[in-house]
């Protein structure tokens, strides 16, 4: 697994010596782009973000922050895996790129994407790991991806169209393949490498070497672990993503994860077996059961993040050893944030801060001042134009974001956005989060839950209520705020072109609870595996 041990020790010296002898610079002038992407990685799990619970130390992600810039409000536009990926590739909202949900959307690869434009401009392009857009990747010289959600252990993968089997832990394997591609790439070109982990997506299976990493720590609980949603509407009450009500035996590792082999299972059982035995004997109920699940969840989720961080460390060291660090912009991010027990939840979807905000750490030597932070509202929708800007390639007018390169270079454009538009669709499976759209500013969010059996508006005030447990919509003191935000929301809907009723397929193929089932398709047709 350790790439450094496998590589002949003299290689770096030989490469540099050859370049010096040749009199050329060590790298092309255009910067390389290394995109280190995770699935469901949330800011609360990254020590550079300074979460109060101090859940985990992430020295390697912290290194990127220390040597670069941390974005404190990088927001998503539709908080769910596939749609975020489609938005990153196209620089467009879901209603324009056509990928609304994880249930039945399929990415149209004929669309203009930033990897295709970079390849046309002479970049060598590769994607390794989780793709999750159903159709095959387009715009990449090399792709080696997990089918669908992928597995944590011994993952089947697809190598440029060919099915292959791997043995080991998926986070390690994705990094191995990424480093291997970097080592063997066409060195006459700058590169774009998208190294995309499955972790820490549900079911949160850590590497076997990390089982017990937290020494059975008693984790601090979030203040809203037992949120009762007092004063909130039906959309908030009637969810299916609670630690109390939705966790499965697989989620809490009362059963072993798929794909694990006999030898691995023995090691897995050595850790989980005695603890699961004690749990069954104690048979906790009510709040005690939620607390037990929360602790198990933290061990597993954070254990997955630990391996991501360790592997980010490996790839950063590889850049150092190969002399690539100086001319490579490293971007570390995730497809959305995640709930680590806040509001009693796991998963994502909502416009609330934990799932709306996603990590963004950027290192770019010579451009980004080390150890800086930005509070500006940026978004995944800005990534395409940012990467094109970094490479000196013009972005198409049709892209809807904005390059963050000026922010990276320490500028503060006076016309930078002060609000962002959001729209979530997927319903009712898998987590019964009702479709909603809204406008987000530094302080406020105005949200409309509009379908199928609700018509609720919420005003959130993060200054007065940072945990977002109250709805101020009917408070007379906020009448002017609501009026202004409503006008801004209407303006944004026109600006981004989201004024039409979304197609029915945007929500998924299952009928809503209060609607007749489609004729000839009893029960609707939905992928059971969608998460």
Residues that bind Ca ion (CB under 5 A): 39-40, 81, 335
45: burial class by Cβ within 10 Å (0-12, 13-18, 19+)?
buried
* Residues constituting the chain: 531
The residue nearest Ca ion at its CB is 81
Min separation Cβ 39 and Ca ion, Å: 4
Closer to Ca ion by Cβ: residue 227 or 335: 335
CB of 336 to Ca ion, least distance (A): 5
Q: Is the Cβ of residue 84 or residue 471 nearer to Ca ion in the bound state?
A: 84
Least distance to Ca ion from the beta carbon of 201, Å? 6
What's the closest the beta carbon of residue 247 comes to Ca ion, in angstroms? 18
Backbone φ/ψ region at 118: left (φ over 0), alpha (ψ -120 to 50), beta: alpha
Pairing of strands 372-374, 378-379: unpaired
Beta bridge partners of 517: none
Tell me whether residue 291 or residue 531 sits nearer to Ca ion (CB atom).
Answer: 531
Q: What is the C-alpha to C-alpha distance for residues 70 and 376, in angstroms, rounded to an integer?
A: 11
Least Å from the CB of residue 127 to Ca ion: 16
Q: Say if residue 191 is exposed, middle or buried (CB neighbours under 10 Å; 0-12, 13-18, 19+).
A: buried
Residue number with CB closer to Ca ion (39 or 322): 39
> Which residue's CB is nearer to Ca ion, number 203 or number 335?
335
Residue 103 has which token pair? 């249930």
Residue 105 Cβ vs Ca ion, minimum distance, rounded to whole Å? 14
Pairing mode, strands 156-159 and 162-165: antiparallel
Nearer to Ca ion, 39 or 172 (CB): 39
Closest CA to 313 of 6, 60, 66, 7: 60
Minimum gap (Å) between residue 335 Cβ and Ca ion: 4
Q: How far from 22 is each of 16, 18, 185, 191, 233, CA to CA, in Å?
A: 10, 6, 20, 21, 69
Beta carbon nearer to Ca ion, 336 or 471: 336
For residue 419, CA distances in Å to 83, 115, 355, 424, 503 come to: 20, 27, 17, 17, 26
Cβ proximity to Ca ion, 39 vs 310, nearer residue: 39
Work out how close the CB of 198 gets to Ca ion at its nearest, in angstroms, rounded to a whole number: 10
The rounded distance, in Å, linking the Cα atoms of 453 and 475 is 24
């Amino acid at each position: 697994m350790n790439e450094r041990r496998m590589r002949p020790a003299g290689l770096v010296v030989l490469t540099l010596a050859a370049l010096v002898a040749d009199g050329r610079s060590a790298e092309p002038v255009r910067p390389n782009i290394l995109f280190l992407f995770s699935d469901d990685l949330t800011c609360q799990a990254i020590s550079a973000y300074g979460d109060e619970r101090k859940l985990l130390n992430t020295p390697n992600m912290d290194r990127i922050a220390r040597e670069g810039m941390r974005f404190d409000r990088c927001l998503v536009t539709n908080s769910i895996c596939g749609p975020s990926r489609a938005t990153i590739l196209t620089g467009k909202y879901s209603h324009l790129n056509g990928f609304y949900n994880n249930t039945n959307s399929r990415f149209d690869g004929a669309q203009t994407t930033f990897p295709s434009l970079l390849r046309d401009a002479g970049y060598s392009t590769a994607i390794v790991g989780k793709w999750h857009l159903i159709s095959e990747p387009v715009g990449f010289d090399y792709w080696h991806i997990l089918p669908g959600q992928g597995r944590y252990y011994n993952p089947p993968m697809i190598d440029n169209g060919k099915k292959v089997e791997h043995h080991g832990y998926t986070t390690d394997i994705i990094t191995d393949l990424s480093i291997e591609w970097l080592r063997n790439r066409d060195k006459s070109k700058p590169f774009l490498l998208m190294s995309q982990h499955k972790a820490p997506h549900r079911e949160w299976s850590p590497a076997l070497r990390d089982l017990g990493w937290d020494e059975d720590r008693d984790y601090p609980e979030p203040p809203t672990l037992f949120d009762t949603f007092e004063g909130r509407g039906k959309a908030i009450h009637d969810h299916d993503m609670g630690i109390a009500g939705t966790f499965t035996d697989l989620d809490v590792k009362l059963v072993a994860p798929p794909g694990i082999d006999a030898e691995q299972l023995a090691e897995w059982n050595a850790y989980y077996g005695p603890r699961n035995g004690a749990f069954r004997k104690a048979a906790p109920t009510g709040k005690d059961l939620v607390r037990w699940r929360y602790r198990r969840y933290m061990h597993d989720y954070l254990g997955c993040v630990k391996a991501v961080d360790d592997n980010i460390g490996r790839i950063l060291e590889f850049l150092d050893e190969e002399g690539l660090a100086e001319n490579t912009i490293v971007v570390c991010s995730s497809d959305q944030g995640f709930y680590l027990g806040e509001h009693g939840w796991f998963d994502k979807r909502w416009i609330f801060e934990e799932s709306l905000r996603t990590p963004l750490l950027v290192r770019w030597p010579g451009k980004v001042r080390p150890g800086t932070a930005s509070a500006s509202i940026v978004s995944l929708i800005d990534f395409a134009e940012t990467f094109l800007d970094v490479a000196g390639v013009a972005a198409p007018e049709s892209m809807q974001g904005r390059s963050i390169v000026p922010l990276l270079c320490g500028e503060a454009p006076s016309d930078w956005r002060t609000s962002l538009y959001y729209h979530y669709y997927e319903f009712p499976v898998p987590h019964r989060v009702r479709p909603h759209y809204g406008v987000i500013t530094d302080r406020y969010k105005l949200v409309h839950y509009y379908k199928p059996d609700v018509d609720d508006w919420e005003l959130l005030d993060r200054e007065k209520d940072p945990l977002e447990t109250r709805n101020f919509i009917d408070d007379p003191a906020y009448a002017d705020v609501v009026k202004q935000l409503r006008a801004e929301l209407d303006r944004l809907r026109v600006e981004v072109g989201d004024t039409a009723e979304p197609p029915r397929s945007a929500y998924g193929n299952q009928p809503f609870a209060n609607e007749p089932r489609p004729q000839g398709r009893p029960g609707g047709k939905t992928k059971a595996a969608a998460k």
